[in-house]
Structure 1
Amino acid sequence: MDTVDAIVIGSGQGGVPFATTLAEQGKRVVLFERERFGGNCINWGCTPSKAFLAAAHAAGRASAAGVLGVNCRVTVDFPKVMERVREIRDRFARSTQSRIEAAGVEVVEAEASFTGQGHVQGGGRSFSAPVTVIDTGSSAALPPIPGLQETPYFTNHNIWELERCPERTLIIGGGFIALEIGQGLSRLGSEVHLLLRGNRVLASESPRVSAVLEEALQRDGIVLHRRTEAKRASPLAGNRVALALNNGETLEGDALLLATGRRPNTEALHVDRAGIELDERGHVRVNDHLESTRPGVYAFGEAAGQPAFTHVSWEDHRRLLATLAGQPRRRDDRVLAYAVFTEPQVGRAGLSPEQAAAKGIAVREGYMDIGNTNRAIEWGHGLGFFQLTVDAESDRIIGATLVGYETAELVHVLLDLIETGATASQLEPLQHIHPTYGEYLPSLAQAARQPE
């Protein structure tokens, strides 16, 4: 058994900067990685999906350019698209490994688990440390569909290995992964069917968001099956699949993608041996400082039940570094922001009016249909809206939902205003550049003005 300064389990977007920072400070750090370097983001999430969508949205925009008087015939080289996706993914993974090794982190390429003494073992080695970090991410949660184990299916883990575009793709789910990959496949040539357990996509967002995205998806030819569940899955010849549905119908396809939620990768750690508790969903139970029920053992990102976004996990590493240095950081001390990279995009920061109401906060709302704005009319972007949430008592901006062209970029303006405690009255008189989408943010604040 070897004693080191820190142990990191997993090479995700929180664990890597934590390990390299300590190593560069002269600490002896050991990092365990059982699969690919870079974690979910680089290998199965952000990196491959956005490289994939770069091609898909280019094809989609070209196909839709007729309204501008530009008529395009789009030909998709699907194998080349996927080759590029994998090349970028692999390059980023290699870069992550090189970064770890260059910083002097000792790497053990093996599955890690805890012992009864709180040590971490794997690959025939055992270590102890005053600080241990669990950054093991999550995997696709599989729905309990009879026959599924005998039926070929994809998750976001292996969809990037596709070599040809499926003629018809069946997708179970209506969240971020289902919508992004579904719209991408549709724009690259597949007939896509989305099976929704409920009545709308992105059910965690406001009905306004769902309505805009559903219209966009249907314009792309995607078929939405509402309140639909698969009662049985069956394999067909040629790796095709069939789903028996709860409405008595059978839907056949060339590929099946499961996007029905995530589960934390904590089972193989055997944390119970070390007195580390998990919650009912398998996340490491942590306090406000990301420390588990065993002192000195911490968890980042999805493993800790944090919001499942790369930037949250990355911020977790800064939180822990600050905590270890005696500074007052907490697991939720930043405004939550995120985006959905469909087209139109969804950019979110802070609270929606519905979330504010659930917290008992009285709000004023500013709303604007972007289809009526100069930029949208000029560029042919009719779908979308801007919405601002303002605390009625303090006038502080506490949330924003932007749906439209590249709103994942634009929402940062409002995210920064929320973080700094800015008010709607401070935003309203500002001058923004014309003609842009950003020029309407002061007008949005004006729309949220207190009635006189």
Structure 2
Amino acid sequence: MNRRFDAIIIGAGQAGPSLAGRLTAAGMKVALIERKFVGGTCVNSGCMPTKAMVASAYAAHLARRAGDFGISVGGEITVDMRKVHARAAKVTLDARSGLERWLTSMENCTTLRGHARFIGPHKIEVGGELLSAPRIFINVGGRAARPDMPGIDQVKVLDNTDMVALDQAPRHLIVVGGSYVGLEFAQMFRRFGAEVTVVEKGPRLVSREDEDVSTSIKDILEREGIAIRVDAECIRFEPHGDEIRVGLHCAREPRDVVGSHVLLAVGRRPNTDDLGLDQAEIARDARGYITVDDRLATNVEGVFALGECNGRGAFTHTAYNDFEIVAANLLDGESRRVSDRVQGYALYIDPPLGRAGMSEAEGRKAGLPVLVGTRPMTRVGRAVEKGETLGFMKIVADAETGKILGAAILGPGGDEAIHGVLDAINVGTPYRDLQWAVPIHPTVSELIPTVIGAMHPSG
């Protein structure tokens, strides 16, 4: 028996449920298929549980610093990891339950549990049942990559999903991968009481950022007692009694480090290898990401790919924007494009890094006449008042066109303050216009005009 729908959505991540809401509101009969948890990575093993844990780690850190603010808390500060875990799990469960209730109440939406596979361009098999629709939307997300590294099959290595399930702090956590996911876990578990070592194959942390940003992040983490091992050209794993030895270098010291737990945080891969995409002749690139055009359509008429699986964005907000683009184009007669999206994201260490648009290095690589302005947090009143003066602000602009190219705010509230610049880039505000804004004092954002007023040629 073949059940026919107007649209089929594979995956209930950030784009799926919202798209189901728009399509059913437009009178369509929709099937939404989810093989595991509603909400995708963000709700279940990414943003929500990890940021809940970051909040607990910050509370522990602030409690230890209470004396700096003239506050006495008395006694040793301890962390109850079971309660930390329970709090994060509740945040996840509440969000997931809310989404499930919404989908259940959605008229004309049929939610199916199981693994979906294509058996033709517009035909899907799930749990032995055949479904078909003229429009199919793939929203299957991604998972932690597990490259074939020497000895990796001889030891137990954890990924981000495993980390949010821990209810006790490791004795010594070794984080392999010095980028966004790895650094957030490194700092939070250091604050939970673990010894932490970060191992990075490259010459510096978060290599996509400008070198001054990477250097400042390294300084922030090392001040908290996190060991950073870059240029680790000989990463390998082997059992060491009840613990794990991780190789760092082949010919120089230290050659290895021994820890109780290893987090592998070396990138992501799309969940596209078991969807039967070949049966529908849906194209993928060499890394497995589904190939889409500027409107998120695949090479097969009526089939779209949204979220992390299309390789056009690895964030919750970009997945949601994918939904917005598809819905606007299909239902509202608009012509929205992925290439119009301004890049924005954050690194949730403490203090956080907020990023918008191009970096200085990207602007220079593109051959643009780059202007740059910076200001250390030691000269930002709000940061001084809060006793959080690590980091700095940086804005990049095009000297000829006056366009703001990008910004980095590494400091207290950097993930929020960056939106002033992100919004200005989105609407095309010339950088000089921001110089004459009258921001609120005392805030981090109030220094944006000051930074702009001191801009000078890059390099």
Q: After TM superposition, is the score higher than 0.5?
A: yes
Task: Give yes or no for the alignment of 1:313 onto 2:316.
Answer: no
Alignment match, 2:245: 242
Deviation at 1:441, TM superposition (A): 1.1
> Alignment partner of 1:121: what SS?
strand
Alignment match, 1:7: 8
CA 1:246–1:144 in 2, change beyond 3 Å: closer, same or farther? farther
Q: Could you give the per-residue CA deviations for residues 62-86 of structure 1, whole angstroms, max 9, x where no partner exists?
A: 2234444445542111111011111
Structure-2 separation of matches of 1:173 and 1:412: 28
Structure-2 separation of matches of 1:109 and 1:50: 28
Structure-2 separation of matches of 1:414 and 1:231: 39
> Alignment partner of 2:228: what SS?
strand
Structure-2 separation of matches of 1:367 and 1:117: 52
One-letter amino acid matched to 1:406: G
Deviation at 1:227, TM superposition (A): 1.2
CA 1:67–1:117 in 2, change beyond 3 Å: closer, same or farther? closer
CA 1:449–1:223 in 2, change beyond 3 Å: closer, same or farther? closer
Q: Could you give the per-residue CA deviations for residues 366-398 of structure 1, whole angstroms, max 9, x where no partner exists?
A: 111121222222222221111111121121222
Task: Give yes or no for the alignment of 1:115 onto 2:119.
Answer: yes
Structure-2 separation of matches of 1:205 and 1:269: 34
Structure-2 separation of matches of 1:219 and 1:438: 26
Task: Give yes or no for the alignment of 1:391 onto 2:394.
Answer: no
One-letter amino acid matched to 2:88: V
Alignment match, 1:374: 381
Task: Give yes or no for the alignment of 1:278 onto 2:281.
Answer: no
Task: Give yes or no for the alignment of 1:293 onto 2:299.
Answer: yes
Structure-1 separation of matches of 2:4 and 2:426: 40
> Alignment partner of 1:435: what SS?
coil
* Greater Cα offset, 181-190 or 373-382: 373-382
**Which of 311, 331, 340 is residue 333 of structure 1 equivalent to?**
340
Trace 1:249-260 onto structure 2 (pairs within 5 A). Answer: 249-260=255-266
Structure-2 separation of matches of 1:17 and 1:418: 26
Structure-1 separation of matches of 2:299 and 2:151: 39
Deviation at 1:110, TM superposition (A): 0.5
Trace 1:104-253 onto structure 2 (pairs within 5 A). Answer: 104=107, 105-229=109-233, 231-238=235-242, 240-247=243-250, 249-253=255-259
Task: Give yes or no for the alignment of 1:43 onto 2:44.
Answer: yes
Task: Give yes or no for the alignment of 1:55 onto 2:56.
Answer: yes
Structure-2 separation of matches of 1:137 and 1:93: 16
Q: Tell me the percent identity.
A: 35
The answer on whether the counterparts of 1:338 and 1:347 sit within 8 Å (CA) in structure 2 is yes
Q: Could you give the per-residue CA deviations for residues 242-283 of structure 1, whole angstroms, max 9, x where no partner exists?
A: 223433634221111000000000001110111101001000
The answer on whether the counterparts of 1:362 and 1:393 sit within 8 Å (CA) in structure 2 is yes
**Which of 74, 77, 83 is residue 80 of structure 1 equivalent to?**
83
Structure-1 separation of matches of 2:367 and 2:30: 45
Structure-2 separation of matches of 1:140 and 1:324: 32
* Greater Cα offset, 87-96 or 255-264: 87-96
> Alignment partner of 1:273: what SS?
helix
Structure-1 separation of matches of 2:285 and 2:379: 47
Deviation at 1:61, TM superposition (A): 2.3
Task: Give yes or no for the alignment of 1:430 onto 2:437.
Answer: yes
Measured on the aligned residues, the alpha-carbon RMSD in Å equals 1.8
Aligned length: 450
Alignment match, 1:323: 329
The answer on whether the counterparts of 1:153 and 1:258 sit within 8 Å (CA) in structure 2 is yes
Alignment match, 1:98: 101
Structure-2 separation of matches of 1:80 and 1:343: 21
Deviation at 1:438, TM superposition (A): 1.7
Q: Could you give the per-residue CA deviations for residues 394-422 of structure 1, whole angstroms, max 9, x where no partner exists?
A: 21222111110111011111111111111
Structure-2 separation of matches of 1:405 and 1:52: 18
Deviation at 1:237, TM superposition (A): 4.8
Deviation at 1:363, TM superposition (A): 2.0
> Alignment partner of 2:448: what SS?
helix
CA 1:237–1:83 in 2, change beyond 3 Å: closer, same or farther? farther
One-letter amino acid matched to 2:340: D
Alignment match, 1:27: 28
> Alignment partner of 1:108: what SS?
strand
Q: Could you give the per-residue CA deviations for residues 294-345 of structure 1, whole angstroms, max 9, x where no partner exists?
A: 1111001211001211000001001001121331111121211111110111
Runs of 4+ in structure 1 off by over 6 angstroms are: none
Alignment match, 2:272: 266
> Alignment partner of 2:441: what SS?
coil
Q: Could you give the per-residue CA deviations for residues 192-216 of structure 1, whole angstroms, max 9, x where no partner exists?
A: 0101101211111011111111111
> Alignment partner of 1:21: what SS?
helix
CA 1:450–1:228 in 2, change beyond 3 Å: closer, same or farther? closer
Structure-2 separation of matches of 1:5 and 1:17: 16
Unaligned runs of 5+ in 2: none
Structure-2 separation of matches of 1:161 and 1:385: 34
One-letter amino acid matched to 1:130: P
The answer on whether the counterparts of 2:372 and 2:457 sit within 8 Å (CA) in structure 1 is no
